[in-house]
Amino acid sequence: MTWLKANNLARLNNRMWSVALLAVVSMMSAAPQSSAQAMQKGISVELARTSSAVPVPDADNQQALIIAVTDGGGLYLGIAPVTPEGLAEKLKARQSQHTQTLYIKADARAPYASVVKVLDAAHAAHVLSVTLLTNQPKTTPAGTVLSPEGIEIELARRSTPATK
């Protein structure tokens, strides 16, 4: 093989690798991106899927009260770990003057008892509105920012014991 043929083969081989790399990069950029909810920074959990949730864009506000319940039952107020015993006091301290909603971002695999502890602490802290954040089952185009969705629940009011 002469030098000219070897040089042309090297150029052709280099061009083939360039085209292959360009194809890979193009396919990676066109690949569907995650349709995970775009929420404020916090603890990552796998939210339960529902079909009856409504948009709750206020959950993205920086002042939103968000409790995360991890799959292991760990509790976080924002990104700070918190114990179930200290949660009610922390909620009382963080509530603003106006009525504020508590958003519970519970992992779908979280123990039910952990979510109940959060609801009990919210009740003790006199939180009036609680919303369970959920995942949306619909598919969206890549790069679409989704508003959080959830199901609002009402906590039972404490009734005073009847006196005789």
Show the domain range for 146: 54-153
Q: Domain count for the chain, please give it.
A: 2
Q: Judge if 13 and 69 occupy the same domain.
A: no
Asked whether residue 43 is domain-assigned, the answer is no
Distance of CA 65 to the CA centre of its chain: 13
Q: Judge if 11 and 86 occupy the same domain.
A: no
Please write the tens of the pLDDT for every residue from 87-132: 999 998 887 655 588 999 999 999 999 999 999 999 999 888 899 9
Asked whether residue 146 is domain-assigned, the answer is yes
- The residue among 42, 75, 82 whose CA lies nearest residue 59 is 42
Q: Judge if 66 and 127 occupy the same domain.
A: yes
Mean pLDDT, the chain, rounded, equals: 78
Asked whether residue 103 is domain-assigned, the answer is yes
pTM: 0.67
Q: Name the residue with higher pLDDT: 15 or 142.
A: 142
CATH code, domain with 67: 3.30.420.270
Q: Rounded to 5 degrees, what are φ and ψ at 35?
A: -100, 30
Tokens of 69: 């319940």
- Integer angstrom CA distances of residue 59 from 81, 83, 157, 161: 19, 22, 24, 36
